[in-house]
Amino acid sequence: MKELIIEQTENYVRNELGEDATGHDWFHIDRVRKNALHIWQYEKSGDPFIIEMAALLHDIPDEKLNTSAEMGDLKLASFLKTIPLTDEDKDHINQIIKSISYKGGRKTELVSIEAKIVQDADRLDAIGAIGIARAFAYGGKKGQPIYDPKFSVREEMSLEEYRSGKSTTIHHFYEKLLKLKELLNTTRAKEMAEIRQNMMESFLTHFFQEWNGKV
Ligand code: ADP
Ligand code: NI
């Protein structure tokens, strides 16, 4: 039964997100699911079925992919209605998805180990080699420059700059991606993040060397 529900959910998500080019495509979802199940195998805690379901559905209500946050919630709720699970399981999946998003650094208390694992899995996919690729894909789609030294990092922005909402993809590393490692919950995800962090740091070192006409 659980296998069938997973299959039904995969088909639904593939159909909903397949064509997205902002980094929320089906392959992102599939990597988050794989990361999450990998972490679960090390942590040996939490319900792997709930983890897999929440990982598969985690981007369905995302504001960026819906006309509004409310429409996103509604979309997830309507899908959950179609699957044969207890209300308790559906509430848990819903609550995990609600609690894991990183919106301007907002901190939400993660109540369950399942939520912690899925959040780590999603954050891992924003760092390392994949994270670099996703950041530039997103920046390209938004028409954002690769880098421009005239911009400041968010913490040092003038009000005018902040209001314009303009930044560069290299700035996104300093504003968010390099900080994600410190926000991880599980031991296994922290270990995985070490290698990915080194990858990003080395990328940035080379980027600036090349930018300045060295090496
Ligand atoms: P997620 O689905 O992992 O929660 P987001 O919705 O925040 O992530 O963003 C999707 C992808 O786009 C991530 O890889 C993220 O790093 C990247 N991204 C988001 N905002 C920016 C930005 N301003 N510049 C470059 N990349 C960005
Ligand atoms: Ni995601």
CA 145 to ligand 2 center in whole angstroms: 23
Residue 13: how many other CB atoms lie within 10 Å: 21
Structural domain boundaries in the chain = 1-108, 126-215
Q: Let me know: does 40 contact 53? Beta carbons within 8 Å.
A: no
Residue 30 and residue 10: Cα distance in Å, rounded?
9
Has this prediction a pTM greater than 0.90? yes
| Residues in contact with ligand 1 (CB, 6 Å cut-off) | 23-24, 59, 64, 122, 125-126, 131, 134-135, 138-139, 144, 167, 169, 172, 177
> Could you confirm whether domain 126-215 is CATH 2.40.30.60?
no
Q: Is the ipTM of this complex over 0.90?
A: yes
Residue 160 and residue 132: Cα distance in Å, rounded?
28
Q: Let me know: does 184 contact 120? Beta carbons within 8 Å.
A: yes
**pLDDT tens-digit profile of 148-203?**
988 877 667 777 777 677 789 999 999 999 999 999 999 999 999 999 999 999 99
Residue 111 and residue 99: Cα distance in Å, rounded?
9
Enumerate residue ranges in the chain where pLDDT < 70. Answer: 20-23, 101-108, 154-155, 163
| CATH number assigned to the domain covering 1-108 | 1.10.472.50
